């Protein structure tokens, strides 16, 4: 029995030591690189202004989920409808593609798209 108690105590001390070492801050032995500081100081420190209100670009979309661009044309996937829509400059949507057998139940559906060269 004494070995079982000693083993348990030793295991507990080892676990505590690992826990404490994981909570320690970073070591000061490494000198941080000044390269990132130099790059950041070269850039303007001005914060770009944001619009006061969000701008509505398109309406009538059913569960829009993701967006990608082909040249300047935004393409939007709808999570529940199987459709990929192309938006014109006025925000009008036209059906570009329908992805068959998309199951929009729960968190499923057409979740994301990406365009690469001539492929969607």
Q: Are 109 and 120 in contact (CB under 8 A)?
A: no
Q: Are 68 and 75 in contact (CB under 8 A)?
A: yes
| Spatial CB neighbours of 46, under 8 Å, sequence gap ≥ 6 | none
- Predicted local confidence at residue 79, as pLDDT: 80
**Span 17-55, pLDDT tens digits:** 666 766 666 666 666 555 555 555 555 567 888 878 888
Let me know how long the chain is: 120
Choose between 104 and 36: higher pLDDT. Answer: 104
Q: 71 vs 16, 27, 89, 93, CA distance in Å?
A: 57, 47, 13, 16
**Span 48-84, pLDDT tens digits:** 888 788 888 888 888 888 888 888 888 998 887 888 8
- Predicted local confidence at residue 11, as pLDDT: 76
């Amino acid at each position: 029995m004494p070995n079982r108690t000693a083993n348990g105590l030793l295991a507990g001390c080892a676990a505590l030591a690992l826990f404490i070492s994981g909570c320690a801050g970073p070591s000061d032995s490494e000198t941080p690189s000044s390269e990132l500081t130099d790059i950041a100081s070269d850039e303007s420190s001005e914060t770009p202004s944001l619009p006061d209100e969000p701008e509505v670009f398109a309406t009538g979309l059913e569960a829009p989920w993701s967006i990608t661009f082909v040249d300047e044309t935004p393409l939007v996937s709808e999570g529940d409808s199987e459709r990929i829509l192309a938006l014109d400059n006025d925000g009008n949507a036209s059906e570009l593609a329908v992805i068959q057998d998309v199951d929009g139940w729960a968190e499923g559906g057409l979740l994301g798209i990406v365009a690469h060269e001539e492929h969607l």
